[in-house]
Amino acid sequence: MLKRELTDLWIGGRAFNLLLIYSALLGIISYNYSFSHDLNRVPAQEAVFEMLKNATAFSMFIGLIIGADSISGERDRSTLESLLLTPVNRSHIIIAKLLAGISPWPAAYLIALPFLYVLAQGNAVLGPAMLWGALTGTMLVLGYTGLAMLVSFWSSSNKVSYFVSLSIYALLLVPVELSGDGPDITGEFLQWLNPVSAVNYFLSKYLLSHRPVAEYWPWLVSSALLAVGTVVLLLKFAGSRLRLEPGLRRKIRVALRNVIGLGVLVGLFAVTFLVTPSYAFQTGTGRGQEIELSIDSKFKQVKMGEMVKFSTTITNRGVETSTPLIVALNVVTLQPNGKGVDPEEWSSERTKYIQSLAPDETIKLDWLITTGLHGDYIIYLVVIPQPASPEATTFPVASSSLYLTVIPTTRLQPAVVLPFALGVPVFLLAITFVVYRRRRQQIDIGDPL
Amino acid sequence: MITNSDPVKSISQPEILVAEGLRKSYGPRKALKELTFSLKAGRILGFLGPNGAGKTTSIRILTTMMEPEAGHFVIDGISSEYPEQIRQRIGVLPESLGFPKQMTGLEYLIYYGQLYGRTASKATEKAHTLLEGVGLQQRAKSLIGSYSRGMKQRLGIARALVNDPVVVFLDEPTLGLDPRGQRELLELVQRIARDGNASVVLSTHLLSEIENICDDVLILDLWQIVARGSVSQVIGRVQKNIILKSVLRIHVPPLSVTKAREVLETMPNILRISQIGELEGSLSLELMASDNGDMAVAYEINNKILSSLLRAKIPILRFEVEGGRLQDIFLHLTEDVIQ
Contact A79 B99 (CB under 8 A): yes
Contact B87 A444 (CB under 8 A): no
List B residues 81-120 in contact with A (Cβ-Cβ < 8 A): 84-85, 87-88, 90, 92, 94, 96-100, 102-104, 111-112, 115-117
The number of CA neighbours under 13 Å toward the Cβ of B117 is 11
Chain A and chain B share a number of CB contacts under 8 A equal to 74
What residues contact residue A444 under an 8 Å CB cut-off, 6+ apart? B104, B139, B140, B141, B142
Chain B contact set for A87 (CB, 8 A): 84-85, 87-88, 115-117
**Cβ–Cβ under 8 Å, residues A288 and A321:** no
Residue A445 pLDDT: 61
Please report the DSSP string for B63-88 in residue order. Answer: TTSS--SEEEEEETTEETT-HHHHHH
Residue B12: Cβ within 10 Å count? 7
Q: Does B175 touch chain A (CB under 8 A)?
A: no
Query: pTM (2 decimals)?
Result: 0.70
Residues of chain A with pLDDT under 50: 176-183, 275-288, 447-449
**Cβ–Cβ under 8 Å, residues A436 and A13:** yes
A420/A103 Cα distance (integer angstroms): 23
Give the residue from A278, A270, A303 showing the smallest Cα distance to A400.
Answer: A278
> Of all helices (H) and strands (E), which one includes residue A259?
helix A250-274
The partner residues of A381 in beta bridges, in order of sequence, read A329
Q: Chain A: give the shortest CA distance to residue B217, in Å.
A: 25
What are the two backbone dihedrals, phi and then psi, of residue B232, each rounded to the nearest 5 degrees? -65, -40
Contact B116 A87 (CB under 8 A): yes
Question: Looking at chain A, which residues constitute the CATH 2.60.40.10 domain(s)?
Answer: 282-407
B297/B55 Cα distance (integer angstroms): 38
What residues contact residue B248 under an 8 Å CB cut-off, 6+ apart? B284, B285, B287, B302, B305, B319, B320, B321, B322
Contact B97 A82 (CB under 8 A): yes
The three-state (H, E, C) secondary structure of A220-257, written as one string: HHHHHHHHHHHHHHHHHHHHHHCCCCCCCCHHHHHHHH
**Cβ–Cβ under 8 Å, residues B318 and B249:** yes
**Cβ–Cβ under 8 Å, residues B220 and B188:** no
Contact B115 A1 (CB under 8 A): yes
Alpha helices in B97-222 (DSSP H): 105-115, 120-133, 149-160, 179-195, 207-213
B118/B115 Cα distance (integer angstroms): 7
> Cα A317 vs. chain centroid, distance in angstroms?
38
Q: Does B141 touch chain A (CB under 8 A)?
A: yes
**Cβ–Cβ under 8 Å, residues A425 and A20:** yes
A102, amino acid identity: I
Q: Chain A: give the shortest CA distance to residue B120, in Å.
A: 12
Question: Looking at chain B, which residues constitute the CATH 3.30.70.100 domain(s)?
Answer: 244-322
A408/A107 Cα distance (integer angstroms): 33
B38/B22 Cα distance (integer angstroms): 12
The partner residues of B161 in beta bridges, in order of sequence, read none
The partner residues of B251 in beta bridges, in order of sequence, read B282, B318
Give me Rg for the CA atoms of chain A. 28
Is residue A416 helix, strand or coil? helix
Residue A339 pLDDT: 62
Q: Does A441 touch chain B (CB under 8 A)?
A: no
Contact A443 B141 (CB under 8 A): yes
Contact B84 A87 (CB under 8 A): yes
Q: Does A12 touch chain B (CB under 8 A)?
A: yes
CATH code for the domain defined by A282-407: 2.60.40.10
Is residue A379 helix, strand or coil? strand
State chain B's maximal CA–CA distance in angstroms: 74
Is residue B72 helix, strand or coil? strand
**Cβ–Cβ under 8 Å, residues A289 and A320:** yes
For the segment(s) B244-322, the CATH number from 1.10.645.10, 3.40.50.1820, 2.60.40.10, 3.30.70.100 is 3.30.70.100
Q: Chain B: give the shortest CA distance to residue A78, in Å.
A: 4
**CA–CA distance from B13 to each of A167, B39, B76, B161, B199 (Å)?**
59, 10, 12, 21, 11
Region of B282 please: left (phi>0), alpha (psi -120 to 50) or beta: beta
Among the partner-chain residues A13, A86, A442, the one whose CB lies closest to the CB of B115 is A86
**CA–CA distance from A189 to each of A68, A183, A267, A272, A285 (Å)?**
28, 11, 8, 8, 33
DSSP code at position A263: H
List B residues 26-85 in contact with A (Cβ-Cβ < 8 A): 60, 63-66, 84-85
A118/A98 Cα distance (integer angstroms): 32
DSSP code at position B65: S
B289, amino acid identity: A
- For a pLDDT cut of 90, what percent of chain B falls above it? 29
The partner residues of B43 in beta bridges, in order of sequence, read none
Alpha carbon dihedral B30, B225, B2, B247, in 10-degree steps, equals 110
pLDDT tens, A168-190?
888 887 654 433 444 456 777 87
Contact B97 A449 (CB under 8 A): no
B101/B104 Cα distance (integer angstroms): 8
Residues of chain B with pLDDT under 50: 1-11, 242-244, 337-339
**Cβ–Cβ under 8 Å, residues A33 and A119:** yes
For the segment(s) B3-99+147-230, the CATH number from 3.30.9.100, 3.10.20.30, 3.40.50.300, 1.20.1440.130 is 3.40.50.300
Chain B contact set for A13 (CB, 8 A): 102
Question: Looking at chain B, which residues constitute the CATH 3.40.50.300 domain(s)?
Answer: 3-99+147-230
